[in-house]
Chain A
């Protein structure tokens, strides 16, 4: 009860600053889609702002290239506390298909502490909305760690006869 009340009392409009850390623009376009009237993320109080100093949330799309690392760190420092970092797309989550390229550092989590990951290549606008709802505590996340499925008799392997 108190928790519910706190959630409502501290519910705040999140202002986003959207940054491209080396993406192909697919995820950027989907992020813009989410703000159109059809998907309308603004009904959750979300607003895209033009300066990191106005923002609460840093949205990162794309694998982090070596060139962008210092800029990304400066950007993170420019966002006032408390702040969230959201990685949008497979590339931002773990590096995508570029994870071992010579000019790629990896996912956003190799440089910044990431709070929420939104999967997809690019994620559907619905997937981004689901990520927003998970971040705001409106929905539960749908994925959970899977237990390793082991063979029942893996320890009793039969020795080979010569």
Chain B
């Protein structure tokens, strides 16, 4: 009885201190941990792939006018699955290892908004995503100092995919007749 207690005491003494000194010293998570998803707004092309795959449907995409698309992310609902970073064609979203997201106002602190320049379809007037980054640069209005040149760039056909498809269908039907 006494011996076993002594043995227990010895084991406890030998074990030393096991508690993590966490809030006093930082304890970064291991490699591969998925934390706060950070967006590089300069890389984002506003294609909306992240909004399509997000399980929590927290990415809202709205077109303010014909060249501006606003992306709102309500990250208070984020489950850190990393699907948005996986599907992003431009690798604009990276899962950081930031996990210290505790706050007293989650809705204000964890809402991220950005505006993206989009091309305007010359047929239907909707926002669309140009096929290549070069096409995007050549859009009138992409650079603020080239707004005046808007008329010179008409050799580039600024037509969205849906309008092109619609036109092709009409053309084929017309030939058939």
- A5 within 8 Å of B by Cβ? no
- A126 within 8 Å of B by Cβ? yes
A90 in contact with B78 given A124-B99, A142-B100 (CB within 8 Å): yes
Q: Which of B108, B114, B116, B150 contacts A148 (CB 8 A)?
A: B114
Chain A residues contacting B125 (CB-CB under 8 Å) are 160
Interface residues of B in 86-118 (CB under 8 A from A): 98-117
A37 in contact with B19 (CB, 8 Å): yes
A142 to chain B, nearest CB (A): 4
A131 in contact with B68 (CB, 8 Å): no
Residue of B nearest to A118 (CB): B102
Q: Which of B27, B77, B122, B141 contacts A95 (CB 8 A)?
A: B77
Q: Give the complex CA separation of A25 and B77 in angstroms.
A: 17
B-side interface mostly: loop
B69 to chain A, nearest CB (A): 10
Q: Which of B55, B74, B141, B154 contacts A153 (CB 8 A)?
A: B141
Q: 0/1 per residue, A115-141, Cβ < 8 Å to B? A: 111111101101101111111001101
A37 in contact with B18 given A90-B78, A97-B56 (CB within 8 Å): yes
Q: 0/1 per residue, A84-121, Cβ < 8 Å to B? A: 00010010011111011000000100000001111111
B66 to chain A, nearest CB (A): 6
- A158 within 8 Å of B by Cβ? yes
A93 in contact with B77 (CB, 8 Å): yes
Chain A residues contacting B157 (CB-CB under 8 Å) are none
A149 in contact with B77 (CB, 8 Å): no
B161 to chain A, nearest CB (A): 17
Q: Taking A38-B18, A134-B103, A154-B68 as given, write out 10 further A-B residue pairs in contact, using a Cβ cutoff of 8 Å, ordered by the A residue number.
A: A39-B22, A40-B20, A94-B106, A96-B79, A97-B56, A100-B57, A120-B99, A121-B81, A151-B68, A161-B151
